[in-house]
Structure 1
Amino acid sequence: MNTTTPTFRYAAVTFDCADPAELARFYGDILGLPVVFSTDHFVLLGQEGAAGLGFNRLTDYRRPTWPDPTQEKQAHIEVGVDDLDAAEAHLLAMGATKPEQQPDPDRWRVLLDPAGHPFCISTLA
C-alpha cells in the first residue's frame, strides 16, 4: 500500500471567454504579466515557475450578467491597488466597464473585464 501523499501545486486559474488573446492583453497589461504559452484557443499569462492566469476560448461563451443572476459570474479575481479612483479610471480607459451596482464602493469597486467577468479592485488587497 502506497502511503506517500502526492504533491500538489497551484498552477493557474483559467477564464472561459470568446477571445482569449483579447482578454489576455487586458489582464497582462493590468498585472504586468507576459504570455508564457499561446494557441488560437488558449493563452496563459505568468512568470516561469509561478502560478498563472489562463484564458480559454469557448465557442458558446455567454457573458456573465452580474449582478443579475441570469448568467452567474462563474469566477472573479481581486486586484490590489493603491488608489481606487485612479485605478478605476485607468481600467475603464483600458476597456473595463463599471456596473451600476457597487456593494461597497468606498472599500472596493466591481468592474467587468472585456468578456464580462466581474473583477474587484481594492486597497485592502
Structure 2
Amino acid sequence: MNERVGQLASISLDCPDTGQLADFYIQLLGLKEAFASPDRGVVALAGAGPMLTLMRVDNFVAPSWPAGPQRQQMHLDVAVKELEDSTSAAVELGATLAEYQPSPRQWRVLLDPAGHPFCLTAVRPD
C-alpha cells in the first residue's frame, strides 16, 4: 500500500454570490465560517469533515441537470434522517426542488440558491 500524499481539505463550488451561498450552507449543514478573503470572493465553511469553499466567479453559469449545455460536474449528497421534512426545510432555506427526480424514495434532488444540484438522502450502508 502506498502512503498518501495528502488528505482532502476542501470541496470548492463556484458561484456568483459567496455570501448568499455561505448563508444557505451554514443553515443547511450547520457549518461555521472558517475563512474569508478580504473581498469575500472566497469563503470557506467548516464543521463537517472537509471544508466547503465558495468561490465567486463573475461569469458564473449555473449547471443544468440532468442534461443541458452546462452539465453538473459534481454534487453534494447530504445525509438526512427523513426525506420529506428535510426537503421542506431545505426549500425554506432557499433551495429549489429539481424538476427531474430519478429516485425520489432514496434521493431528493434540489438546487442550491446558485443552481448547483445536491441530493438529500436517507440511504445508509448496511
TM-score, with structure 1 as normaliser: 0.89
Q: Which residue of 2 aligns with 1:63?
A: 62
Structure 1: 4+ residue segments shifted above 2 A: none
Q: Which residue of 1 aligns with 2:76?
A: 77
Q: Which residue of 2 aligns with 1:12?
A: 10
Partner secondary structure for residue 90 of structure 2: helix
Q: Using the TM superposition, give the Cα deviation of residue 70 of structure 1 relative to its aligned residue in structure 2, in angstroms.
A: 1.2
Larger radius of gyration: 1
Which amino acid is 1:114 matched to? P
2:42 matched to 1:51? no
Which residue of 15, 21, 32 maps to 1:34? 32
Partner secondary structure for residue 89 of structure 2: helix
Q: Using the TM superposition, give the Cα deviation of residue 7 of structure 1 relative to its aligned residue in structure 2, in angstroms.
A: 3.6
| Aligned residues with identical type, % of pairs | 38
Q: Using the TM superposition, give the Cα deviation of residue 113 of structure 1 relative to its aligned residue in structure 2, in angstroms.
A: 0.2
Q: Which residue of 1 aligns with 2:101?
A: 102
Q: Using the TM superposition, give the Cα deviation of residue 68 of structure 1 relative to its aligned residue in structure 2, in angstroms.
A: 2.6
Q: Which residue of 1 aligns with 2:123?
A: 124
Q: Using the TM superposition, give the Cα deviation of residue 6 of structure 1 relative to its aligned residue in structure 2, in angstroms.
A: 6.7
Distance 1:57 1:29 in 2: 19
Distance 2:9 2:32 in 1: 16
Partner secondary structure for residue 8 of structure 1: coil
Distance 2:30 2:94 in 1: 16
Partner secondary structure for residue 71 of structure 1: coil
The number of residue pairs the alignment matches comes to 120
Distance 1:7 1:102 in 2: 38
Q: Using the TM superposition, give the Cα deviation of residue 21 of structure 1 relative to its aligned residue in structure 2, in angstroms.
A: 1.2
Partner secondary structure for residue 111 of structure 1: strand
Which string of whole-angstrom CA distances, capped at 9 and with x for unpartnered residues, describes residues 7-41 of structure 1?
40110000000001111111111111100001220
Unaligned runs of 5+ in 2: none
CA RMSD of aligned residues (A): 1.6
Q: Using the TM superposition, give the Cα deviation of residue 51 of structure 1 relative to its aligned residue in structure 2, in angstroms.
A: 2.0
